[in-house]
Amino acid sequence: QVQWVESGGGSVQAGGSLRLSCTASGHLAYSLYCMAWFRQAPGKERAGVALLNSDGSTKYADFVKGRFTISGDNTRATVSLEMLNLKPEDSAMYYCAAAPCSGLYGGSRTLVRHDFDYWGQGTQVTVSS
C-alpha cells in the first residue's frame, strides 16, 4: 500500500518562506499521477492550493498566485511546494494529494478535493505577524 508523507512545515514570520515536500513510499500502481497541495485552517473547508497535472501544466488558487510554486515528478508521485512571502492567512495544515493520471483516468485533474484519491497526513504551517 502506497503512503504519501509530507515534510517541511514549520513556523515562520510573515514575509518568510518554506518549502514543503511530499514523497510516496511503496509500489505505485499507476505510471503517472496528478499531484496537488491542499490546505485546511481550523474551522474552514479544505481548499486547493496548487495543482501539477501529468503534462506538467500547473494551476494555482488565486490567493497564492505569484507566491507559491509547485513542482514534482508525476511518475514518482512526488511533489513540492515552494512558498514565498508567507502571510498569516497562509497558516494551515497542508496536505499533498495524488490521483492516477494515466490511461483511462485521463491526464488532468482540477483543483478540487473530490478529484483526488490519495492523501498524506498533513504538515502544519504557521505564519506569525
pLDDT tens, residue by residue, 85-118? 999 999 999 999 999 998 888 889 999 999 999 9
pLDDT of residue 35: 98
Q: Which helix (H) or strand (E) holds 126?
A: strand 123-128
Residue 107, exposed/middle/buried by CB under 10 A (0-12, 13-18, 19+)?
middle
Report yes or no: 2 and 117 within 8 Å, Cβ to Cβ.
no
Residues 26, 9: Cα–Cα separation, whole Å? 23
- 27 CA to centre of own chain: 20
Residues 87, 65: Cα–Cα separation, whole Å? 13
Mean pLDDT across the stretch 27-49? 96
